[in-house]
Each structure stands twice: as structure tokens, then as C-alpha cells.
Amino acid sequence: MQDQTQPCVYLSPDDEEHDDGLPPEPLHPSQWRDLPSGYVQRMKVYKTLWARCLSRMQTLVHAIHAPVACEVALEIKSAYEDQLPGLPYHEIPVIALAAEPGSPIYADVVSQLESPSTVQGQERRDLLIHLHPSECPNLLSMMRAVVTGFTAQSGTERRTRSAVSLANYDFARLQAWYRTLDSHPNLVVFVHDFEQFDVGVVQDALYICSLHVPRVPLVFVLGLTSPSTPTHLHKAYARSTLALLRIRAFTAPSGQSVTEEVLARTYFDPTFEPDIMIGPATLDFLHDFASRHTSSLDALYTVLQLAHMKHFTEPLTVLADASSDAHPSLTDESARPFVSALALRLQRSTDSAPDDLLDAVQSARAAFHRKARELRVALAAAEAARRIGQMAGAHSVEEEDALQFARAVLRGRVEKEVRYLGMVVRKLPAEQLGMLLAELLALFEQVGAGGDGSEEGTPHAQLQNLFAQLPRSEEGEDGNPDADGPPQEDGAPGVRELSDALGGWLVDFLEQRFVRLDEGPLWDMWYMGNTPFPAELINPAPRLAVVSALTHPSDFARAHCELLEPAPSPSASPSPADPLDLDGDEEDEGEEALWELPDASILFRRYVEAGRMVNVYDWFQSFAVVLEGQRRRLRKREREAEGEDEEESEEEGASAEEESEEWVEEVQARFMRALHTLDWMGFVRHTGRKADHIIRTVYDVLD
């Protein structure tokens, strides 16, 4: 491709230029039936369909965060109202908001604050600024960021004679500016990544701000990445600083429960129809990744986006979008392999050649989405029955959540669970029976089942008939007033017959709707199926071969030499300065000494001996000790080769050279090169709190 900035999934071999005059390599089986520019067209379809899926998930996340965001915004707006009287000094309102990194709850809070509020009959809009650790390395920078952040906002800057004469970091400048405002908004300071700020700088800044409240109504919102109790604010800051603050703690919903809810309401909600249906293999990977590594929303988005990109490597997915505008032209001569492959797939599925390929694709799409929609409705009905059964005291055969049950449904392995649900419904008391009937009727009315007079209306009509047979109490409410025991014990045979009928209906309904989605014409265009997730793209852990090569580099170097030079010259002598040279070493021939290893291997050996976190300075010191021993041994080998026996002069020369600045700079350079090598290989993860520490990514390294 000529445009190197254009994104693509992969480069088709037939588009590569062959300057050597050789014929192009044979195409992959999935490429010979592709369109000439199929990867570009599939990328467009992928972006469109992934944007719809991402928009759905972000909408759900905003809905989950809305209650907390609204509560935080209300606390900010009323921070200086109804204060506790009688205090010896005014406190700074501080909100400790714990959320995962990159959480959208900050944007939700900002959107809530941007809406004007009415205070004492006057409309008021609070002013906001954002502080980051890189902007506040010292007290002067932090105070300048606070003062100029508010005074320089468009539409609010006012210049007074007193303010002009003050420095841009002087808090009196902000106070003079605030007096000139027509309204009196709260000044909200969002402090992002609060754990990374210098404690001394923040303590001094908070003390200065406390001298000017409430004349300058500041409100600090501290963004914490850990919802631990006590918070970082309480653990790291002195009691004298905490006494200046009025702290309210909030925690944004996060964790595995939020990711599972977003996932379930995106792909298994009967009111939403995803363009590409997720498969059980991707669901398994998501569950394992969330339980073993991280359950953040960013990880969820990344995994699903990679799964979509993997799905669109299939050439036929260029027709996955329902919009006819997105369909490529199939009449060109260059599209004949693609058309032939598509016609062959349809002929195998329908036992007849279709007259119009695009119409056949539209029919296949409608059939697939109809089956997927019926499956989602059945999942919702099964979830309602299981939830109400648990309220009545029943327990499922296996304690599993909705996503685990959905994975089993997609694999077609729920016969036992369906029969058990029917048995649970048959034993429901009258009260829970009425609740289940009402919830099922509401479900079918919500999804519009039965409105077209087709077979989808039959379940709704049957439920209405069963609901009409439900016994009524004297007060006119549904169910038996005495519903503590089973129906057969409270003398209500009508309830027992009704529960048996509803249990049988539920089993038949679920067995009809719980069908495999990987059957039917062109199902793989809209369903991921059991395609393995490309885990190496999301978790590129170092391979065991890399760890073994760093631990025993001479074995790999010797194997590489034997591969390139099967018969090395016996007269060739290695360089005396080569750390991989084992000839003439007084150590055992079975295993090389530490000083004989390359720099990256020496550093990796010290890395393995450390704990979970490695102090970089201690790491460097241990590395420098090994290099000093390496240099002494190499100098001794050189002197022995030259026949020099002056041991005293050798020790004096070595001591003088070790203390030279050149040697120290060389050790530092070699350490940085080895450190960057390990970092590039994936063995180093930097911490967000300690700049002089790194976190190991590999444990249990066997020798």
C-alpha cells in the first residue's frame, strides 16, 4: 500500500510489489477467495460494527456510574452550604473518589457539574480545573497551576489593579479575581492520580488553601486508584493536614461484577441486538482474564475489540453489515473468486444455488438474528425462573452465574439445567408463581413478542392463559395469602396444577429456543463461534525459551554457531574479552560462572533472586559487583597470556582503574542497555507510585 498511515488488518500478498522479478508466493486459502481490496473494505465494516458495540457498552457504563456521579456532583455543589457551626477554622471540602485508571466516572461528574444550578435564586455554574502529577513537581508549580487554571479560563478572566501586581502563583491573586465575579461559583480542583503526587508538596498546598477558604470556595476531588480502607490520603498524610479537610469518600462501581453486567447486557439482553455475536471461547477467555489478571473496563474493551478484529479476517465478513451501502460490488471480474466461494457456501447450506447472492445473504442474516434473538429471550426467561426459584429457597445444580449459563447454552450443554428449572417451577409456592408469571409476561411485552400474529405470539398467549388461572386472594391480589409452604400442603390443588403446567411450558420453550448458533447458512459471518481468542496479543508473556536463553545463554549461543558453522576451525581462538568464552576457565565445565555471562543474563540472574518488587539502585549495585569481578578475571587472563607475573603492579593498576570515572560510566551504560533489553522482552513493569522500583512479570523461574 502506498499510504503507510492507513490502518489495515493485514497486507494481502498479491498487493506486494516484487522488484526481484520473481513470481508472487502462493496465496493462503483464505486469500484466494478474497476481494482485491477486501482487507480495506472489511476494516470499514469492522469499524462501523465495533463502534455500535462500543457505544452500547459505554452507555451501560454511564448508566451504572450515574448514581455515584450524581451523588458526587451534588456533594460538590453543596460543599459550602449547611456547614457545621462552631468550628475553630474552616475546613476544605475534599472528595476522595476511588475508581480504576481511565474510568469514565470523572467525565460523568464533570457533565453533571456543567449543568447550571440555582443557589439563592441565582443561576450558578461551578468552575473546574484538572491537575496531573507531571504539572506539579513542586509547590510553586502546583500553586501556579491552581491560580492560573481558574483566572485564565475563557469568559471568566478579570483584571484588577491589585491582581496585576501579584505573581501568578500568589493565592491572593486568585482571591482578588474571585471577588470580581458576578456569580459566586465553587472552584473545583480535580487531582488525577493522587497517589503519584509528592506528599510534601500537597500538604503545603492544602495548608495555603485552608488560609483562604471560604472566601475562595475551593473543592478538591482526589482521584484514587485503590478503594482500600483507609485510603492513601489517610495513610500517607499527617494528622495535622487531615485536620484541615472535610473528607467524603466515594467508590465508583468497578470490578468483575461490573464487567460481567456490561457483557451480559450487551450480548444477552433481549432488548438489544448486537451485529456480531460473541462465542463461548471468547467468553471463557474473558472470564479467565478477569479472574486471574484484571477486571477493568479497559481490558474488557481491548479483548472484545481484538476478538472483532480476529473475526473480520475472514473474507466473507465484508458482507456482515446489514446496510446495503456497505456491500461491495460483486459484478467485477476480479470478484469472481469471492463470488464463487460465497455461492458454494450458500449451495452447501440450502442444497440449491441461489439466484441473487445478496438477497440470499440478507435472508441468512435475518434467519441468524432471529435465532439469536429467540435465544436471548429464552435466556432472560430462564434467568427469571432461576432468580425467583432462589427466592423460594431452591438451589441450582451448580452455582453458576448468568454468563456461565450462557456459555453452556451456546455450547448446547444445558439439558440437565433446563429440566432442573422445570422442576423448580413446579415446586413454586403461589406467591412466587404469580411473580414469575408477571415477570415473564412483562418480558414478552417488552420484546414485542406476539405482536405480529406469528408463532412468537403463541408463548405470550399461553402465559396470559396461565396468568388468568392464577388463584386470587380475597383482597384481589395474585397468589394464595398463605403461601409459606408448597401448594400441596396449603390445600390449593389449582396452584399445583398451574405450577405443573408452567414448569412444562418453560421446559418446552427453552428446549425449542436453546439452539446452536453455529448452524445454518453463513453463520460465521455474524457469530464468533468456538474460534480461539488470540491470547498472545493481549498477554504477551515472555516465552519459556527466552527465560531459558537468558539463564543459560552459552547453550543457545553454541547451538546457533553449530547451526551456522557446522565445522568450526580448530585453529580459531576466541577473543579473551568474550564473556561467553569458557576455554581455559578454572570453573567447572558443566555450568558457566556468573561473571562469564552476557550483561543481560547477569542482570536477569539478579532479577530472579529479587522479590516481587526490585529496587533499581540495589539491582545496579549487585550488577556492578559482578562486572568488577569480571574485569579482574579478564585482566588476569590477559596478563597470563602475555607472561607477566607482577602481581603487585597488577593489583595497583586494577585498583586505580576501578576508581576511574570512565569505568563507572561504562558500568552505568552497560546496566542501562541490559535493563532496556529486559524491558523490551517484557520482564519489567514500572510502578505508578515508586519511581525507583520495578515489578517483576515472571516468577518461579527454574534453573
The answer on 589 and 679 residing in a single domain is yes
122 in any annotated domain: yes
310 in any annotated domain: no
Lowest mean pLDDT: which of 235-249, 527-541, 624-638? 527-541
Q: Which of 254, 274, 309 is the last residue of a domain?
A: 254
The set of residues, in sequence order, having a beta carbon less than 8 Å from that of 304 and lying 6+ positions away, is 53, 57, 278, 282, 286
Specify the pLDDT at position 6.
41
398 has a pLDDT exceeding 50: no
The answer on 595 and 458 residing in a single domain is no
45 has a pLDDT exceeding 80: yes
187 in any annotated domain: yes
402 has a pLDDT exceeding 70: yes
334/583: higher pLDDT? 334
pTM score, two decimals?
0.70
Q: For 460-503, write each residue's pLDDT tens digit.
A: 888 888 888 877 654 444 444 444 444 344 435 578 888 888 99
Among candidates 109, 106, 110, 126, which has minimal Cα distance to 118?
Answer: 126
368 in any annotated domain: no
43 in any annotated domain: no
DSSP, collapsed to helix, strand or coil, labels residue 213 as coil
The answer on 469 and 601 residing in a single domain is no
DSSP letter assigned to residue 529: T
Q: Are 431 and 483 in contact (CB under 8 A)?
A: yes
Among candidates 309, 304, 325, 274, which has minimal Cα distance to 317?
Answer: 309
The answer on 547 and 495 residing in a single domain is no
Cα angle: 427, vertex 431, 437; to 5 degrees: 80
Phi and psi torsions of 102, nearest 5°: 75, 15
373 has a pLDDT exceeding 50: yes
410 in any annotated domain: no
Specify the pLDDT at position 491.
38
Strand partners, 615: 693
The answer on 619 and 669 residing in a single domain is yes
Q: Which residue has the cell 478538591?
A: 220
The total number of structural domains that make up the chain = 3
Q: Are 176 and 162 in contact (CB under 8 A)?
A: yes
CA distance 109 to 73: 6
The answer on 624 and 560 residing in a single domain is yes
Phi and psi torsions of 673, nearest 5°: -65, -45
Cα angle: 129, vertex 133, 138; to 5 degrees: 100
- Provide the Cα torsion 350, 355, 357, 360; round to 10°: -50
26 in any annotated domain: no
Specify the pLDDT at position 686.
78
Q: For 168-178, write each residue's pLDDT tens digit.
A: 888 899 999 99
The answer on 571 and 425 residing in a single domain is no
DSSP, collapsed to helix, strand or coil, labels residue 92 as strand
The answer on 497 and 551 residing in a single domain is no
649/536: higher pLDDT? 536
130 has a pLDDT exceeding 70: yes
Phi and psi torsions of 665, nearest 5°: -65, -35
The answer on 624 and 477 residing in a single domain is no
Confidence label for 90 from pLDDT (cuts 50, 70 and 90): confident
Specify the pLDDT at position 23.
44
Domain range for 627 is 543-696
CA distance 387 to 402: 10
The answer on 550 and 488 residing in a single domain is no
Q: Are 195 and 688 in contact (CB under 8 A)?
A: yes
N- to C-terminal Cα separation, the chain: 47
Specify the pLDDT at position 86.
73
The amino acid that residue 583 corresponds to is: D
Confidence label for 164 from pLDDT (cuts 50, 70 and 90): low
CA distance 319 to 302: 24
The answer on 180 and 91 residing in a single domain is yes
The answer on 637 and 555 residing in a single domain is yes
15 has a pLDDT exceeding 50: no
CA distance 180 to 156: 9
Among candidates 200, 189, 46, which has minimal Cα distance to 110?
Answer: 189
355 in any annotated domain: no
What CATH number corresponds to the domain at position 215? 3.40.50.300
Here the cell at position 276 is: 456480531
User: To which H or E segment does residue 130 belong?
Assistant: strand 127-131
